[in-house]
């Protein structure tokens, strides 16, 4: 399974104690040069360098095919007042996911809003951090016994990244895990 990862998600996960969970969940993480050029913090750079060095992350050369998808996504976000303006970095993340049939890993509002309002345009799965953690539990990469264990997983993520999850998302995640 492949995943195309955007900058916000990468920054967030570079702080997480269990960040290499991503490389156990996915065969390869795909990034564009746009993401790499923005990763200026020490933590994000070190995470990326290690993953590329271990062959777990791949820098995808973009082509005219991705350029066309990016143009369409930008046009959509500009012409639909419900959608926040999409930046080219996130647009290329989605374009790569569509080209390689990969999951989009994002913490970006524009991508999420596009997915909800124009699901036919982003026809691949889109996951946020909480979705990745749920999937890791489902696949046995994180061991939990009960609700409290999963809440502890979320709390650890919040402690490391200062990323909070809403009660609605938490309850939905617990239902997915049948807890």
Partner 1 sequence: MKDWAGQLTPEDLEYLEEWGRRVRREMADWDFIKRLPRRLREALTYLVETGDLRQASMRYGINICMLDELRIKAKIPLTL
Identify residues 74-133 at the interface with partner 1 (CB under 8 A): 82, 84-85, 87, 89-90, 103, 107-110, 112-113, 115-117, 119, 124-128, 131
Q: How many other C-beta atoms lie within 10 A of the C-beta of residue 160?
A: 16
> Which residues in 118-146 are b (16+ Cβ under 10 Å) and which e?
beeebebbbbbbbbbbbbbbeeeebeeee
Residue 41 beta carbon to partner 1: minimum distance, rounded to whole angstroms? 4
Nearer to partner 1, 64 or 97 (CB): 97
Write the CA distances from 147 to 17, 86, 116, integer angstroms: 21, 36, 28
Name, in order, each residue with C-beta under 8 angstroms of 31's C-beta and a sequence gap of 6 or more: 4, 5, 10, 48, 57, 58, 59, 60, 93
Q: Which of 134, 136, 137, 153 is in the footprint of partner 1 by CB under 8 A?
A: 134
Collapsed DSSP state (helix, strand, coil) of residue 14: helix
**What is the rounded distance in angstroms from the CA atom of residue 60 to the CA atom of residue 123?**
20
Residue 120 beta carbon to partner 1: minimum distance, rounded to whole angstroms? 11
Identify residues 15-44 at the interface with partner 1 (CB under 8 A): 38-41, 44
Q: Is 7 in the site for partner 1 (CB under 8 A)?
A: yes
Q: Is 50 in the site for partner 1 (CB under 8 A)?
A: no
Which spans of this chain sit near partner 1 (rule: CB under 8 A)? 1, 7-8, 11-12, 38-41, 44, 82, 84-85, 87, 89-90, 103, 107-110, 112-113, 115-117, 119, 124-128, 131, 134-135, 158, 161-164, 166, 168
């Amino acid at each position: 399974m492949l995943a195309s990862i955007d900058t916000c998600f990468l920054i967030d996960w570079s702080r997480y104690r269990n960040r290499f969970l991503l490389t156990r969940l996915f065969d390869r993480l795909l990034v564009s040069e746009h993401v790499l050029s923005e990763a200026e913090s020490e933590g994000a750079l070190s995470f990326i360098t290690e993953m590329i060095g271990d062959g777990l992350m791949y820098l995808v050369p973009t082509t005219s095919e991705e350029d066309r998808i990016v143009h369409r996504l930008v046009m959509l976000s500009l012409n639909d007042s419900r959608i926040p303006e999409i930046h080219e970095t996130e647009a290329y993340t989605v374009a790569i996911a569509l080209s390689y049939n990969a999951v989009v890993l994002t913490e970006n509002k524009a991508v999420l809003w596009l997915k909800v309002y124009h699901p036919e345009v982003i026809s691949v799965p889109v996951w946020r951090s909480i979705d990745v953690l749920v999937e890791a539990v489902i696949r046995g990469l994180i061991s939990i016994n009960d609700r409290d264990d999963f809440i502890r997983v979320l709390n650890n993520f919040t402690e490391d990244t200062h990323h909070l999850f809403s009660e609605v998302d938490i309850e939905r995640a617990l239902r997915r895990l049948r807890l």
